[in-house]
Amino acid sequence: MNLLNLRNALIAALFGSAFLLNGCVVQHRTVVQTPPHHHDYYDYRFSNDDNYRLYDYYHPRHSSKYKKGYKRVPPGHYKRPYRLHEPLPPQVRYQRLPRDVEVRLPRIPDDLIRVRIGGDILLMHRKTRVIYDILFDF
């Protein structure tokens, strides 16, 4: 009888410790989530009109698309360190669009900014750095 109680107590202790350890692991996990109110910004995207205006600015009609000495990276060889609806990694540097371009585009909420990274133009949240839209290879 004593061995049966000891066995049951040992099994109960093992299951109890498994549940406790599982709870500790879940509490220490780091999960990047955007606050719920930021989902309102998912409706903000670059329109076709925005695309034409940006193209006119960055590709004037009388200049070559590729400057002398510029070599285009073959498809599949350039890995972008950012994705849509995810925060921009802290090590990625970006440039704000010039004032001349911002004036041509429609106004967006103060929390959103348009930036350029390499050949891509992004629409992202200023504080959380969550990306809401991307124009690739601009």
- Distances in Å between the alpha carbon of 128 and those of 24, 88, 110? 27, 8, 13
pTM across the whole model: 0.61
Residue 129: Cβ within 10 Å count: 18
Q: Which residues lie across from 123 on neighbouring strands?
A: 114, 133
Pairwise CA distance, residues 94 & 114, whole Å: 10
Question: Which helix (DSSP H) or strand (DSSP E) does residue 134 occupy?
Answer: strand 131-135
| Furthest-apart CA atoms within the chain: distance in Å | 95
| Domain residue spans of the chain | 34-62+84-138
Q: How confident is the model at residue 124 (pLDDT cuts 50, 70, 90)?
A: very high
**Quick one: average pLDDT of 112-135?**
91
Our measurement of the distance from residue 101's CA atom to the centroid of its chain's CA atoms, rounded to an integer in Å, reads 23
Provide the pLDDT confidence category of residue 31 given band limits of 50, 70 and 90.
Answer: very low
**Can you read off the two tokens belonging to residue 18?**
């498994």
Q: Is the pLDDT of residue 58 over 70?
A: yes
Instruction: Tell me which residue has tokens 């704000």.
Output: 96
Fold of the domain built from segment(s) 34-62+84-138:
Nuclear Transport Factor 2; Chain: A, (3.10.450)
CB-CB contact of 41 with 132 (8 Å): yes
Least confident of 24-28, 77-81, 83-87, 90-94: 24-28
Higher pLDDT, 53 or 23: 53
Confidence at 137, pLDDT banded by 50, 70, 90: confident
Which residues fall within 8 angstroms of residue 44, CB to CB, at 6 or more apart?
A: 108, 109, 112, 123, 132, 133
Q: What is the per-residue pLDDT for 89?
A: 92
Residue 44: pLDDT band with limits 50, 70, 90: confident
